[in-house]
Amino acid sequence: MLPVQSFLNFIAQNQLFTQNDRLLVAVSGGRDSVVLAHLLKQAGFNFGIAHCNFQLRIDEAQAEQAFTSQLADALTVPFHTISFDTQTYARQNGISTQMAARDLRYTWFEQIRNEHGYSYIAVAHHQNDSVETILLNLTRGTGIAGMHGILPQNGYLVRPLLFLNRDEIDTIVDQNGLHFMEDSSNASSKYARNKIRHQVIPPLKELNPKLEETFDRNMERFRELELLLNHQLEQLKQQMMVQVGDEIHLHISAVKSLYPQRLLLYGLLHPYGFSEPVIEDVMASLDKHAGRVFESQGFVLLLDRDKLILSKRRERPGPVLIHQNDHEVYYSQFKITLLHDDSPLIIRDNPMALSANADKLIFPLTIRSWQEGDYFCPMGMKGKKKLSDFFVNEKIPLHQKDQIPILINGNGEVIWIAGHRPDERYKVSEHTEKVIIFELYKLNL
């Protein structure tokens, strides 16, 4: 007898799917996925079988592909299969064979799900897989998220076999005379998971024969702790993380009041790609001089005077030429328009616009980011000022400096720090005969 009622109860308790859903079931041909396929069939679910041939164990792989095809025929369900050159993919991407196989199969599963209208992808992970995952995470270092084991659902991926352990699956196979294929690589100790399975778990089961049940209870507690932590983090995000334009500001006083500080600050910043060592560096820098910058893959965190400023990481924009007949040009996240005028129109008190004496302009002009040594003659002031000093005086954060468009004349002089201050040398007076009006627009990218 197959434990169909327990299977249905687990699916219902975790709200995995219903009889109205179509499932794509990943079947390797091993005992776990074979049991899952038979349970789904006996429970009356609508599903198809997907099998990957990774061409790693040539003879075994061909036999497994033939076996899963026959299983699909026996269960009268659709069959999808594909062969991968896994080793070449691993080499080209600089990853392990195991990681390559994982990438290939899940990408293909999602493709088949979309093409054939399946609601979910079902895989045959069970309780022992979850135990192994936790032990692996512990050896590598982990937080609460690494202690909750394998979840019953992750998006379109469902794991309806997590109510069973390996011994129970073996009993089901024996009692029901189910045929399956044995993967010889499961016996190899060169893989970390297999070492955990064959060398670590057996002694633990001697200490506690109900190891899987104990881990299952512990995992449930860790899931509850994770829910509690996530709830608190969500509240902290709303209280502390203030959206200012395309930046997020966190006041340092609020960061210092966090307890436990490292755990909560990590929870707030980790979604933006900041690692634990970087978070610890941020904490150690809170009482030091402003201007320190921390970077993740996609974001920049600036330690300002009284706050942390989080923004998307932007590459330093390349220069853009402006020709005399241009009416608009695009630079990074900005659009600059040009209007030629014969009247000496003077634009005052608008940092997003500039009236320039056209007779002094040497085309092509250039829009670029600032460079060390750049200087200009600020409008309304006598003498020169370095752009670096101007940025300091204007309290412009370090991470924003590279994004400010600088309008450069053909002779190399600064005409305009766009959005901030024009140069005195290019101002318009009543004697000016021709004017070009530049306007700066911020694009919502």
pLDDT tens by residue, 411-429: 999 999 999 999 999 999 8
pLDDT tens digits, residue range 269-294?
999 999 999 999 999 999 887 778 89
Whether residues 16 and 74 fall in one domain = yes
Q: Tell me, what's the pLDDT at 192?
A: 86
Q: Let me know if residue 116 belongs to a domain.
A: yes
Are 379 and 417 in contact by the 8 Å Cβ rule? The answer is no
**Which range, of 83-92, 185-194, 322-331, 348-357, averages the lowest pLDDT?**
185-194
Q: Let me know if residue 366 belongs to a domain.
A: yes
Instruction: Give the count of domains, the chain.
Output: 3
Q: Tell me, what's the pLDDT at 344?
A: 62
| Cα distance between residue 26 and residue 320, in whole Å | 52
Whether residues 54 and 178 fall in one domain = yes
Q: Find out whether 59 is annotated in a ligand binding site.
A: no
Whether residues 214 and 334 fall in one domain = no
The boundaries of the domain holding residue 336 are: 320-442
Structure tokens at 223: 């899931």
Domain boundary among 220, 252, 284: 220
Q: Find out whether 246 is annotated in a ligand binding site.
A: no
Which backbone phi and psi does 320 adopt, to 5 degrees?
Answer: -130, 130
Whether residues 101 and 186 fall in one domain = yes
Domain boundary among 220, 255, 289: 220
Whether residues 207 and 255 fall in one domain = no
Whether residues 60 and 144 fall in one domain = yes
Q: Tell me, what's the pLDDT at 190?
A: 72
Q: Let me know if residue 230 belongs to a domain.
A: no
Q: Tell me, what's the pLDDT at 188?
A: 67
Q: Find out whether 29 is annotated in a ligand binding site.
A: yes
Domain boundary among 286, 312, 338: 312
Whether residues 110 and 128 fall in one domain = yes
pLDDT tens digits, residue range 113-164?
999 999 999 999 999 999 999 999 999 888 888 998 999 999 999 999 999 9
| CATH assignment at residue 296 | 3.30.465
Show the 3-state SS of 207-275: HCCCHHHHHHHHHHHHHHHHHHHHHHHHHHHHHHCEEECCEEEEEHHHHHCCCCHHHHHHHHHHHHCCC
Whether residues 114 and 162 fall in one domain = yes
Sheet holding 46-53, edge to edge: 79-83, 46-53, 22-26, 120-122, 157-158, 153-154
Q: Tell me, what's the pLDDT at 380?
A: 86
Q: Tell me, what's the pLDDT at 18?
A: 97
| Cα distance between residue 79 and residue 68, in whole Å | 8
Structure tokens at 129: 């897989």
Show the 3-state SS of 30-78: CHHHHHHHHHHHHCCCEEEEEEEECCCCHHHHHHHHHHHHHHHHHHCCC
Q: Tell me, what's the pLDDT at 106?
A: 97
Q: Let me know if residue 233 belongs to a domain.
A: no
Q: Find out whether 69 is annotated in a ligand binding site.
A: no
Q: Let me know if residue 227 belongs to a domain.
A: no
Are 2 and 42 in contact by the 8 Å Cβ rule? The answer is yes
| Cα distance between residue 97 and residue 100, in whole Å | 5
Nearest to 313 by CA among 334, 292, 303, 299: 299
Q: Find out whether 189 is annotated in a ligand binding site.
A: no
Residues 6+ apart with CB under 8 A from 404: 369, 370, 396, 417, 418, 419, 420
Question: Considering the chain, what is the average pLDDT of its residues?
Answer: 93
Whether residues 297 and 414 fall in one domain = no
Q: Let me know if residue 236 belongs to a domain.
A: no
Q: Find out whether 73 is annotated in a ligand binding site.
A: no
Q: Tell me, what's the pLDDT at 293?
A: 87
Nearest to 37 by CA among 27, 52, 51: 27
> If pLDDT is split at 50, 70 and 90, which confidence band does 349 have?
confident
User: What average pLDDT does range 58-81 have in this prediction?
Assistant: 95
pLDDT tens digits, residue range 88-118?
999 999 999 989 999 999 999 999 999 999 9
| CATH assignment at residue 432 | 3.50.40.10
pLDDT tens digits, residue range 353-410?
999 999 999 999 999 999 999 999 999 888 999 999 999 899 887 778 888 999 999 9
Whether residues 306 and 427 fall in one domain = no
Q: Let me know if residue 229 belongs to a domain.
A: no
pLDDT tens digits, residue range 4-57?
999 999 999 999 999 999 999 999 999 999 999 999 999 999 999 999 999 988
Whether residues 262 and 406 fall in one domain = no
| CATH assignment at residue 49 | 3.40.50.620
Whether residues 190 and 248 fall in one domain = no
Q: Tell me, what's the pLDDT at 292?
A: 87
Residues 6+ apart with CB under 8 A from 398: 291, 293, 302
Q: Let me know if residue 187 belongs to a domain.
A: yes
Q: Tell me, what's the pLDDT at 412?
A: 96
pLDDT tens digits, residue range 197-223?
999 999 999 999 999 999 999 999 999
| Cα distance between residue 95 and residue 214, in whole Å | 34
| Cα distance between residue 36 and residue 168, in whole Å | 13
